[in-house]
Every structure is written in structure tokens, then in C-alpha cells.
Amino acid sequence: MEFETKVAIVVREDLASWQKLNVTAFLATGIAAAAPDAIGKPYEDANGRKYAALLGQPMMIHTGDLSGLQRAFQQGHQRELMMAVYVTAMFSTGNDDDNRAAFSTEPADQPDLVGVALRGPRKMVDKAVKGLMLHP
């Protein structure tokens, strides 16, 4: 099945493994919250137990250095893609309010990104992450 839209998450390659997983999880929830139309139906196991719905399309996870993330970020803005962001300063906060406050003080055109997620038309997302490697 080919989807009209695509989700790409880019995490900075120099993070610790736990940080990469943490950033990826937060960014995925950001995309899911902003795109309720992309959420599938709830799951149910063979015993009838209910489970939460998941995003109904694949997410490609890429990796890159800071300049690669900033390029994807700029491309996302130029192409008017839906984006979720995570910056270094957010690692030292303990709640969503402080995360937003930390992000609001970042330079608007070159934040200290550790992760960015993009969603939009497939070809536009592909162009925004061109040159970035898939996460191994």
C-alpha cells in the first residue's frame, strides 16, 4: 500500500541510545497529535482485550549531524510540512511547559536540534530528508 503522506523522523547521530529513543518517541507523539486523521483503529487481541490505536502509516527514522537536521528543518519550513521538534535544552527540563519555554528561546532559524519529525506529501518529505541516512 502506498500512502499519500509520509512521516520521517531525524535524530542526531551523536546522542546516547536512550536519548535517540526518547526523542523519537516524543516526536512520533507530536506527529500523531497533530494528525489525528493518520491514526488507525484500536487493536484487539484474540481474547478480546483492547489496545491503543497506532499511527496508520510507517515512519522512517533517519540520522544525521546537526547541520543535516537543520537542513531538514529548513526544508520542512520551505515546503510547509507539519513538523515536531526537540532541542538539546529539552533534555534538562522535567515537563511540557518547561520544554516549550526552552524551545521558545532557541534561534528561530537554527535551533540546537536533536530531532525533527516531518509529515506531508511523500515527495516533499523525501526531498526534505534527502542525503540523510536511515537509522541503522
Other CB atoms within 10 Å distance of the CB of residue 127: 14
43 assigned to some structural domain: no
Beta strands in the chain (DSSP E): 5-12, 43-44, 50-51, 59-64, 82-87, 113-121, 133-134
Distance from C-alpha of 23 to C-alpha of 91, rounded to nearest angstrom: 9
58 assigned to some structural domain: yes
Q: Cell match 516533499: residue?
A: 124
Q: What is the pLDDT, as a whole number, of residue 2?
A: 76
Overall number of domains in the chain? 1
117 assigned to some structural domain: yes
46 assigned to some structural domain: no
Residue closest to 60 by CA, chosen among 106, 113, 117, 14: 117
- Taking only the tens place, the pLDDT of each residue in 80-120 is 999 999 999 999 998 999 999 999 999 999 999 999 999 99
100 assigned to some structural domain: yes
Distance from C-alpha of 90 to C-alpha of 88, rounded to nearest angstrom: 5
CATH of the domain at 10: 3.40.1490.10
Q: Is the pLDDT of residue 1 over 80?
A: no
Residue closest to 116 by CA, chosen among 79, 72, 80: 72
109 assigned to some structural domain: yes
- Taking only the tens place, the pLDDT of each residue in 14-68 is 999 999 999 999 999 999 999 998 999 999 999 999 999 999 888 999 999 999 9
Q: What is the pLDDT, as a whole number, of residue 58?
A: 86
pTM: 0.93
Are 37 and 57 spatial neighbours (Cβ–Cβ below 8 Å)?
Answer: no
Are 3 and 54 spatial neighbours (Cβ–Cβ below 8 Å)?
Answer: no
Q: 86 is in which domain, residue-wise?
A: 5-38+52-134
45 assigned to some structural domain: no
Q: What is the pLDDT, as a whole number, of residue 6?
A: 94
44 assigned to some structural domain: no
